Amino acid sequence: MSSPAPALGRVGYVTKMYPRYSETFIVHEILAHEAAGLPLDIFSLRTPSDPYFQDIVARVRSPVTQIPSHSPSTQTFWTTLSQAGSVLPDLWPQLHLASQEGTGALDIYQAVLVAVAARQRSITHLHAHFASVGTSIARLAARFAGLTYSFTAHAKDIYHDSVKTADLLRKIRDAHQVITVSDYNLRHLRELAGPDAGHIQRVYNGLDHQRLTYQAPETRSPLILGVGRLVEKKGFTDLIDACALLARRGVPFECRIVGRGELEPVLRAQIAALGLGDQVHLLGALPQAEVLRLIAQAAAFALPCVVGADGNRDGLPTVLLEAMALGTPCISTPVTGIPEVVRDRDTGLLVPEHCPEALSQALQELLRDASLRVRLAGQARALVSDEFDIHRNAARIRQAFQPAAAGVL
Question: In sequence order, what DSSP letters do the residues of 95-155 get, joined into one string?
Answer: HHHHHHTT--HHHHHHHHHHHHHHHHTTEEEEEEESTTHHHHHHHHHHHHHT-EEEEEE-S
Q: Which residues contact 327 (CB under 8 A, 6 or more apart)?
A: 214, 215, 216, 217, 296, 377, 378, 381
Quick check: do 10-206+389-405 and 209-387 share a fold? Answer: yes
367: helix, coil or strand?
A: helix
Nearest to 347 by CA among 369, 317, 327, 364: 327
Cis peptide before 93 (omega within 30 of 0): no
Backbone φ, ψ for residue 41 (5° rounding): -125, 145
CA 311/CA 164 separation, integer angstroms: 13
Q: Which CATH number fits domain 10-206+389-405: 3.30.470.20, 2.50.20.10, 3.10.129.10, 3.40.50.2000?
A: 3.40.50.2000
Quote the DSSP letter at residue 5: P
Q: Which residues contact 328 (CB under 8 A, 6 or more apart)?
A: 217, 225, 295, 296, 298, 299, 300, 301, 377
CA 110/CA 112 separation, integer angstroms: 5
Quote the DSSP letter at residue 277: T
Strand partners, 275: none
CA 222/CA 206 separation, integer angstroms: 29
Nearest to 23 by CA among 319, 225, 264: 319
CA 139/CA 228 separation, integer angstroms: 30
CA 310/CA 378 separation, integer angstroms: 36
CA 106/CA 157 separation, integer angstroms: 20
Backbone φ, ψ for residue 223 (5° rounding): -100, 125
Instruction: Kindly provide the residue ranges of all beta strands, DSSP E only, lying in 188-321, ordered along the sequence.
Output: 200-202, 223-227, 254-258, 280-284, 300-303
Q: Which residues contact 146 (CB under 8 A, 6 or more apart)?
A: 88, 90, 409
Q: What is the pLDDT of residue 56?
A: 82
Q: What is the pLDDT of residue 5?
A: 44
pLDDT, block means (10 residues), the chain with 409 residues: 57 95 90 96 91 76 96 94 92 84 91 97 96 97 95 95 95 96 96 95 93 94 97 98 98 97 97 98 92 97 96 93 98 97 98 98 98 98 96 95 54
Sign, CA torsion 102/66/160/173: positive
User: Would you list the domain boundaries of the chain?
Assistant: 10-206+389-405, 209-387
Identify the helix (H) or strand (E) that includes residue 382: helix 370-387
Q: What is the pLDDT of residue 409?
A: 35
Strand partners, 284: 258
CA 34/CA 109 separation, integer angstroms: 29
For 327-369, where are the alpha helices, taking DSSP H only?
356-368
Assigned CATH class of 209-387: alpha beta
